[in-house]
Amino acid sequence: DEEMYARTYLFSHLIGAVIRLAAVSEETLARRMLDEWKRVIRGSLFAVTGQNAAA
């Protein structure tokens, strides 16, 4: 789905920019944000993959 791809792409870049900004000022916070971001993205990708497989 192109719309989902576009949303994920935009979300990834925006969150990446926030994490890079946080890394400059507070590395520990940036690490926690990155770990949470990875967890959310992995969960989203598996949910989308599961929906596509069921369709």
Q: Phi and psi for 26 in degrees, rounded to 5?
A: -150, 100
Query: For tokens 């990446």, what's the residue?
Result: 16
Residue 48 has what pLDDT?
59
Per-residue pLDDT of the chain (55 residues; tens, 9 = 90+): 788 888 888 888 888 888 788 878 888 888 888 888 888 878 877 765 555 555 5
Crossing angle of helices 27-54 and 2-25, rounded to 10° = 170
pTM for the model stands at: 0.49
